């Protein structure tokens, strides 16, 4: 089974050819980061226009790199939500046009199912059920993957997503956009115990997260020190903030794995590429005797190979989308 996969939910135009859900024959990404950096974040209207300019070229490159033609594809998989509506529509329209012209099945893919499925590509032995910590720009969820594409939500953030917190703190301390990788880098030069920031706990919801209080604490600290005329070490601030996020993420994940008796722990989404999170989760899982899986950094952030992996398992389950497939910007986890 060969899936042509298309992803355009945010600021990367991406296409891939994936064989049997786990083998990536090509994975092409055209990133708009440089363009949006000018504005300090993703500008939706600019993103849609750029996707339109790039999409055909990116799809052709994916086919060329795989050394295959559209006639050899089994199905077309495309992200239809969640994401920016105008951006999603570009991928969905392209996928529909190809599927219709080539008489191929069309499979609408949930972007977050894609992030989770990125783990199948490099970990051939990984199969559900497993516990997954989803940490991306818009999501922070602790889920039990009961089967391919079947989520049981155990915990979620009450406010900001982890990636969002990284991006906001990075902006506040002048590291710019995109914040996650910049904090990760600065933190390597800083002391994670230099400042003591709060780890929020939610009464009666042991698996839920909250990052807005942490973000405010970082901003307050910064303002306070500035008022006193003190020089703040950006590296220490980045390391201390990151440490607080990582501790919250790891402690709840381990707690849930123990409580639900799941021995396979998986992380997914852009923040899963964070070096401190990977290191801390690895140590914690080893201590507990859990197996720990994570995608390589390039497969953590948005890409189309992960959409191809998810589409394959949906294809096997018989999932097919109609020609009325539409972009669903606020598609919820576990919804289709």
Binding-site members for Fe cation are 111, 115, 302
Instruction: Say which entry of ligand ATP, Mg ion, Fe ion, none residue 249 contacts (CB below 5 to 8 A, set by partner kind).
Output: none
Give the bridge partners for 166, in sequence order: none
Numbered residues of the known binding site: 111, 115, 134-138, 167, 180, 184, 274, 302
**Considering beta carbons, is residue 39 or 100 the nearer one to ligand ATP?**
39
Contact between 13 and 23 under an 8 Å Cβ cutoff? The reply is: no
Instruction: Say which entry of Fe ion, Mg ion, ligand ATP, none residue 139 contacts (CB below 5 to 8 A, set by partner kind).
Output: ligand ATP
CB of 302 to Mg ion, least distance (A): 5
**By the rule CB under 6 A, 210 interacts with ligand ATP:** no
CB of 325 to Fe ion, least distance (A): 19
CB of 155 to ligand ATP, least distance (A): 16
**Considering beta carbons, is residue 241 or 315 the nearer one to ligand ATP?**
241
Contact between 9 and 330 under an 8 Å Cβ cutoff? The reply is: no
- Could you say which of 271, 299, 307, 325 contacts ligand ATP (CB under 6 A)? 271
SS3 at position 262: coil
| C-alpha distance from residue 188 to each of 136, 218, 234, 236, 273 (Å) | 21, 18, 11, 9, 14
- Give the pairing type, strands 264-268 and 130-135: parallel
DSSP labels for 110-160?
EHHHHHHHHHHHH-TT--SSEEEEEESSS-EEEEEEEETTEEEEEEEBSSS
| 291-293: strand order across its sheet | 150-156, 140-147, 130-135, 264-268, 291-293
List interacting residues with Mg ion (CB under 5 A): 10-11, 302
* Residue closest to ligand ATP when measured from CB atoms: 270
**Considering beta carbons, is residue 10 or 285 the nearer one to ligand ATP?**
10
| C-alpha distance from residue 117 to each of 109, 120, 202, 311, 313 (Å) | 11, 5, 29, 9, 9
Report the site for ligand ATP in 142-171 (rule: CB under 6 A). Answer: 163, 166-167
CB of 331 to ligand ATP, least distance (A): 10
Residue 214: phi and psi, rounded to 5, are: -65, -45
**By the rule CB under 6 A, 36 interacts with ligand ATP:** no
Binding stretches for ligand ATP (CB under 6 A): 10, 82-83, 111, 115, 136-139, 163, 166-167, 178-181, 184, 269-271, 273-274, 301-302
């Amino acid at each position: 089974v060969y899936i042509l996969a298309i992803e355009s939910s945010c600021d990367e135009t991406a296409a891939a050819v994936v064989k049997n859900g786990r083998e990536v024959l090509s994975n092409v990404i055209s990133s708009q980061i440089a363009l949006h950096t000018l504005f300090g974040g993703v500008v939706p209207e600019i993103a849609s226009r750029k996707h339109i300019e790039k999409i055909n070229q990116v799809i052709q490159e994916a086919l060329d790199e795989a050394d295959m033609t559209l006639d050899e594809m089994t199905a077309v998989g495309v992200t239809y939500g969640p994401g920016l509506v105008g951006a999603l529509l570009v991928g969905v329209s392209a996928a529909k046009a190809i599927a219709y012209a080539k008489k191929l099945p069309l499979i609408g893919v949930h972007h977050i199912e894609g992030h989770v499925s990125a783990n199948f590509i490099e970990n051939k032995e990984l199969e559900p059920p497993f516990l997954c910590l989803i940490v991306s720009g818009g999501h922070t969820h602790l889920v039990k993957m009961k089967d391919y594409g079947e989520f049981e939500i155990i915990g979620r953030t009450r406010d900001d997503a982890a990636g969002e917190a990284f991006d906001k703190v990075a902006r506040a301390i002048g590291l710019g956009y995109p914040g996650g990788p910049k904090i990760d880098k600065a933190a390597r030069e800083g002391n994670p115990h230099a400042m003591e920031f709060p780890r929020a706990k939610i009464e009666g919801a042991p698996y839920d997260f909250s990052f807005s209080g942490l973000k405010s604490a970082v901003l307050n600290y910064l303002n306070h020190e500035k008022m006193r005329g003190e020089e703040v070490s950006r590296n220490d601030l980045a390391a201390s903030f990151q440490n607080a996020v990582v501790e919250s993420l790891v402690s709840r994940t381990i707690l849930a794995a123990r409580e639900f008796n799941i021995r396979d722990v998986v992380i997914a989404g852009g923040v899963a590429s964070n070096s401190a999170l990977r290191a801390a989760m690895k140590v914690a899982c080893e201590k507990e005797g859990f197996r720990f899986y994570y995608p390589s950094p390039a497969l953590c952030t948005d890409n189309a190979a992960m959409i191809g992996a998810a589409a394959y398992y949906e294809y096997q389950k018989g999932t097919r989308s109609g020609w009325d497939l539409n972009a669903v910007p606020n598609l919820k986890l576990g919804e289709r």
